[in-house]
Chain A
């Protein structure tokens, strides 16, 4: 009955590879987000989707491509991984897309070697 789930929990990969992280929410929320938390614990928004439409794209390299097949899912695909991509990636959702309580997933720890 987990509200916001992400897979995988851990991801270790080599530089140059392509990888995907999946996110699903069963709360019936309209809006979903991807955040990056760096090694200093700084949390920064990357993308936001509202009803499958891209709303926010915060100067993220175009190697990162979000995809929302339906409003319950927001996946993150990363091409040509770099060392600096190592971080914890959090997915979140909120009910109506307006500034509202956000519900976070458990995070995916990505390590690029």
Chain B
């Protein structure tokens, strides 16, 4: 079974501060890992996926296979980063993504 855990429902930081959104997963095979973001009143969109190893909008995510984590980080948060962030996992020939419950990030001025 696939499971994704985002331990923080809410996360509040000040502008310019570093931010880390945690994601842990359980999966027996090799996972495909994603971060999706939902800005207020907008559709979900892909932020980044671990296989591409890109940095999008200053965010990076490190896949730690040892502790099965895929935390999302940004060194200097901006107010426009305020949004709901979802970690997601897919694997093998499975056709679905399993989403975590999401973390609502608020960046205060």
Residues of A within 8 A of B (CB): 4, 31, 33, 40-45, 48, 50, 55-56, 58, 90, 92, 97-102, 104-107
Contacts and interface: CB of A to CB of B under 8 A. Distances in A.
B102 A98 contact: no
Contacts of B101: 40-42
Given A48-B95, A97-B95, A105 B32 contact: no
Interface residues of B, number: 24
Q: What are the 4 tightest A-B residue pairs by CB atom distance, in nearest-first order? A: A99-B90, A99-B32, A104-B44, A43-B99
Given A45-B98, A101-B34, 13 more contacts: A41-B101, A42-B101, A45-B99, A56-B96, A92-B44, A97-B95, A99-B96, A99-B97, A100-B90, A102-B36, A104-B43, A105-B43, A107-B43
A83 to B, nearest CB: 22
17 contacts: A4-B43, A31-B95, A33-B96, A41-B84, A42-B101, A48-B95, A50-B95, A56-B96, A97-B95, A98-B95, A99-B96, A101-B49, A102-B46, A102-B97, A104-B44, A105-B43, A106-B43
A4 B44 CA distance: 11
Contact of B99 (A44, A48, A101, A106): A44
A92 B94 CA distance: 16
B94 A43 contact: no
A100 B94 CA distance: 10
Contacts of B45: 104
Interface in B35-58: 36, 42-46, 49
Nearest to B49: A101
B86 interface: yes
B64 interface: no
Contact of A99 (B42, B46, B94): B94
Nearest to A101: B46
Interface string B81-109: 00010100011111111110110100000
